[in-house]
């Protein structure tokens, strides 16, 4: 009976994650809240969370609770051509794909953007900058920034390409989610903001070569930061990571 309760609870939470009710970076309800909502024991709650950890959907940090990671897009948005993006290497290759697509979109944005489109890009940058300290909001704002740049290209195929990838194209790995808040805000996050600012400046200046180079540099840095997850080094220093920044 306990086994069925565990499966039922895990299935309910899994559905909330897949449907986006609980988004990447969001904290799951506390153990006590889940016990009250589902009328199950603490053992059942912990067993269900263990299942979700094994599936790569959540990460539990002692003293902080359980947080949602970027769900694999199986059953959600696949990658280009319907290919699933399920592994770290898939995400690295997706970033490489995006370098080609988004660098050209940024170049066209510098040439063709309207004032309204430029303001949309600037607003997306402002929203992302304001999302520091809230991973779920940061992921959404990050995706919307890249969408705004694609829309400013004036070519709807770029916008459609990014829309087909969906927010899961922005990785929410364990290192980004569980990084020490102060280090994240002062280090990694500010670096990404700076990279986005370089893209906006080049588009505003009408400089297609600089716009393409800026977004290519940003995505190349994202690839490096993502690879750092597997090496155990800090993405911006190359030095061994602490326990909180694996």
Q: What is the pLDDT of residues 20-46, one digit of tens each?
A: 788 777 889 999 999 999 999 999 999
Please, what is the Cα angle at 173 between 148 and 234, to 5 degrees? 105
Which superfamily does CATH assign the domain made up of 80-231 to? GntR ligand-binding domain-like (1.20.120.530)
Intervals of CATH 1.20.120.530 along the chain: 80-231
Alpha-carbon distance of 171 to 25, in angstroms, equals: 11
- The pair of structure tokens assigned to 52 is 């979700």
Across the chain, mean pLDDT equals 81
Distance separating the N- and C-terminal Cα atoms of the chain: 37
Q: Does domain 2-68 have CATH number 1.10.10.10?
A: yes
Higher-pLDDT residue of 218 and 92 is 218
Average pLDDT of the residues in 60-78: 67
Tell me the per-residue pLDDT of 138-168, one tens digit each, with 9 for 90 and over: 888 999 999 999 999 999 999 999 988 887 7
Q: Provide CATH 1.10.10.10 ranges for the chain.
A: 2-68
């Amino acid at each position: 009976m306990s086994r069925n309760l565990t499966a039922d609870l895990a299935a309910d939470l899994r559905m909330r994650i897949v449907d986006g009710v609980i988004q990447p970076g969001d904290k799951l309800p506390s153990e006590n809240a889940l016990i009250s909502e589902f009328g199950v024991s603490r053992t059942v709650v912990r067993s269900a969370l263990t299942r979700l950890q094994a599936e790569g959907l959540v990460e539990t940090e002692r003293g902080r609770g359980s947080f949602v990671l970027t769900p694999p897009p199986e059953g959600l948005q696949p990658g280009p051509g319907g290919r699933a993006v399920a592994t770290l290497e898939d995400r690295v290759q997706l970033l490489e794909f995006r370098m080609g697509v988004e660098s050209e979109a940024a170049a066209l944005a510098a040439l063709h953007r309207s004032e309204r489109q430029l303001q949309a890009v600037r607003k997306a940058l402002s929203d992302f900058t304001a999302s520091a300290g809230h991973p779920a909001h940061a992921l959404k704002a990050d995706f919307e920034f890249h969408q705004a740049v694609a829309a400013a290209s004036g070519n709807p195929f770029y916008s459609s390409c990014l829309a087909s990838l969906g927010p899961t194209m922005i990785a929410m790995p364990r290192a980004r989610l569980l990084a020490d808040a102060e280090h994240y805000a002062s280090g990694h996050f500010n670096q990404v903001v700076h990279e986005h600012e370089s893209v906006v400046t080049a588009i505003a200046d009408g400089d297609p070569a600089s716009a393409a180079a800026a977004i290519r540099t940003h995505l190349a840095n994202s690839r490096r930061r993502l690879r750092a997850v597997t090496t155990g080094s800090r993405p911006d220093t190359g030095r061994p990571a602490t326990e909180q920044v694996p």
